[in-house]
Amino acid sequence: MNSRLLLLAAALFGESAAFCQIHKMERKDSVGTERSYNLNPVVVTGSGHHQRLKSTATPVRVLTSQEMEEQGISTFDGALTRMMPQVSMAPNSMGSFLRMNGLGNKYILILVNGQKLTGDISNNVDLNRVNMSRVKRIEVLDGAASSLYGSDAIAGVINIITDQPTQQLVSVESDTRISGKGQLTEAVTLDIFTKGFGSYTSYTHDRADSYQNNRLEYVKGSDTETQETIAPLFTGYRSDIVGQKFTFSPNEHLALNAGFDYSGKITDRPNTNPDIAGGTDYEMQYKGFRWNVGGIYKFTAKNSLQANFTADRFRYGKEYDVETKSQQVGDFVLSKKQHAYEADVKTILGLAQDGTTIFGANWRKDCLEATSGSIDRDAYTLAFYGQHEQKFLRLMTATVGARYTHHETFGDRFTPKATLMCSPGAFRFRATWSAGFRAPGLDEIYYHYYSVNRGKPQIIFGNRDLKPEKSNYFALNAEYHTDRLLVSVTGYLNRIGDMVVRQNIDVDDSSLAMLQAEFPEMTAEEAARLERYSLYRNSDRGDVKGVQVSVSANLFRGFNLSANWAYAYARTQSEGQWSVLERSIRNSATLAANYHRVWGKYALGVNLNGRLQSRTYYTGSYENAPGFGIWNLNTTHTFDCTRWALIVPSIGIDNLFGKTDQRIDSSVRKYALYSPGRMMVVGLKVKLKDGK
């Protein structure tokens, strides 16, 4: 264990206890109340309007801020991988390679309050843009959902719902989490709410050091000879997010909001060293700026009109740490800019008794400028959608909906949806069919990309003849739902057509001449190292079959147990041959046991959670990554000591049994487990109150 962390943990607990001894409490109420999990929260993602979880005809998984706090989770990728077995993550210097139900980043639609999050590097989403200090809950919808959400919603939708507390005049909160390998998260928030006006300010700093689990790698072309390397398994980084949101509700009918988030991130990799392999000349630098305005007008409790406009800008490039032939230390070379502008208008109406109708229109413009890919292009989409949900025969609820989308490049697309739910007593039986589509990205269409990484050239061509990907999703769900127990079983089939893949083509003498003409900046030495180039094309189809089981139970007062298991058999067919989807996982599970107990002004929380998964499949010449099981322990200690402060120190251990992947790195080796081993984690949360 890190001795500095032990000393810090002792200091945190000693100071908290002493603080409570000095300030004897006179109040009879306590913020540290007895907890039980709400198994029937309000959700919005499945149906497009707010309703209780057990009432939605489309199953939705909810990750609450309470659950994340109890598990000691401070990052977005940590929330997904610790609590969602169907989601996996592969961090690297280009972002986070996210997979859901066997399908990759580009098939997963990530929303913030219903608006798409822009910004990726080679389809790796920059998840550090998510401001976790404001997350109220994360709603996860499996399967195609293009009838409500348009392009990209094929594998599923992850909707991040942010919080806007209104209980206090002024609220100030600081939340710090420190772990090994230089991992630090610090979040500070300031909230002001008075006379219908709200101001919500936040700042988050997140950082981690690069690390290795094995300092050796195989020499290229050899399966026996090794050499020392400084190339990290996990790439360190430093990131900052500043957020500001304003709300104004002059009366019970109207609510307005406006806000922005600025994010910046830079990697922290070992520099190039002539005496050892694995260093780099530059760091990857990312910047994002997102702002939005919107509002909702409620005519009655069942009738409302809402409108939102969002502008999202993201860029990344190379900041040089080492002097090269063409760059000086400190030089920045822009690689890619993405701009997106989105306007959405939606009305929710109670036109029929026991029914809810939604009509909406959406306009979106995506812009891409990539210097390395020789792109400066944009494309717009215009969509109209409608949905009606109706209860009938007392036990039945049916939903039908459709979306018409006009894409500037790919023309028109129609995506319907139909669900049926029967709800006798505590049981729910659901059937879902929904269509999805994905318009190829501007990079996949127009890329003319050339770069050199560690002396090895890489070439990628876009394809203007690509067709949109399409999918059909079928699911059956059975659920038993009471206040104390939730059991859900879902079986699904997701069939995707015209999948866009990057085909590797071997270089011969004739193609080499063509490539040298296309990229005259390629030197003769680089050309001699070029083995293949890539071209985007439509593959035949993909096929994902799966089963998900979820159980959550409030077994007795203060104790909750949850278990989730996901099975996914994901394949793709190309030129008549079936193969597993890259990075797919056949079996995975997440488990959590949480105990919470209150003694006067002190509350104890103990959480044990784990993730278990089978091997990760890789295609081509890559070997599969072995399965693993990771267990984490976190304890929280809430001291409600004064009228003005709530103090919550925490202490825990990540990766209790020290599980790591220590295989020697090689050109055919990929990884699924990126943990550095057992680490102690300490934290301190302080919330100042207005004293009322």
Q: Report d(CA 403, CA 399) in Å as an integer.
A: 14
Which of 158, 611, 148, 136 has its CA nearest to residue 419? 148
Band the pLDDT of 143: cuts 50, 70, 90.
confident
Q: Predicted confidence band at 643 (pLDDT cuts at 50, 70, 90)? A: confident
Amino acid 124: pLDDT: 65
pLDDT category of residue 36 using cuts at 50, 70 and 90: low
Could you tell me which residue, 283 or 3, shows the higher pLDDT?
A: 283
Look up the CATH number of domain 3-687.
Answer: 2.40.170.20
What pLDDT was estimated at residue 18? 46
Domain range list for the chain: 3-687
Half-sphere exposure (Cβ direction) of 592: Cα atoms closer than 13 Å: 31
Instruction: State what percent of residues in the chain have pLDDT above 90.
Output: 51
Structure confidence at residue 591 (pLDDT): 97
Q: Are 237 and 186 in contact (CB under 8 A)?
A: no
DSSP label at 462?
Answer: -
The mean pLDDT of the chain is 87
Predicted structure pTM score: 0.90
**Other C-beta atoms within 10 Å of 596: how many?**
23
* pLDDT 10s digits, 484-533: 999 999 999 999 999 888 888 888 888 888 888 888 888 888 888 888 88
Q: What is the pLDDT of residues 538-590, one digit of tens each?
A: 887 899 999 999 999 998 888 999 999 999 999 988 878 888 888 899 999 99
Q: What percent of the chain has pLDDT over 70?
A: 92
Tell me which range, 32-36, 460-464, 627-631, is most confidently predicted by mean pLDDT. 627-631
- pLDDT of the residue at 255: 94
Residue 510, helix vs strand vs coil: helix
Q: Please check whether residue 344 is in contact with residue 115, taking contact to mean a CB–CB distance below 8 angstroms.
A: yes
Residue 577 confidence (pLDDT): 84
Mean of pLDDT values over 356-369: 93
CA separation for the pair 13, 587 (Å, rounded) = 40
Q: What is the dihedral of CA 613, 617, 623, 627, to 10 degrees?
A: 0
The two tokens of residue 607 are 């959480």
Three-class HEC string of 299-358: EECCEEEEEEEEEEEEEEEEEECCCCCCCCCCCEEEEEEEEEEEEEEEEEECCCCCEEEE
Kindly tell me if the per-residue pLDDT of 31 is higher than 70: no
- Of 283, 292, 282, 336, nearest to 312 by C-alpha is 292
Burial of 442 (0-12, 13-18, 19+ CB in 10 A): buried
Average pLDDT for residues 630-653, to the nearest whole number?
Answer: 92
Burial degree of 194 (CB within 10 A; 0-12, 13-18, 19+): exposed
The Cα–Cα gap between 437 and 468 comes to: 7
The pLDDT confidence band at residue 243, using thresholds 50, 70 and 90, is very high
Task: Give residue 21's pLDDT.
Answer: 44
Give 290: exposed, middle or buried? Use CB within 10 Å, 0-12, 13-18, 19+.
Answer: buried
Give pLDDT tens digits for 264-282: 999 999 999 988 988 999 9
- pLDDT of 616 reads 93
Hey, which bits of 165-235 come out as E strands?
A: 170-178, 184-194, 197-208, 216-218, 226-228
608-622 pLDDT per residue, tens: 999 999 999 988 778
- What does DSSP assign to residue 692? -
Instruction: Using only the alpha carbons of the chain, give its radius of gyration.
Output: 26
Query: How much is the pLDDT for 13?
Result: 52
The total of other beta-carbon atoms located within 10 Å of residue 425's CB is 9
The predicted pLDDT at position 25 comes to 36
CA angle 447/448/454 to nearest 5° reads: 105
Q: Give the 3-state secondary structure of residue 193.
A: strand
Query: Residue 227 above 50 pLDDT?
Result: yes
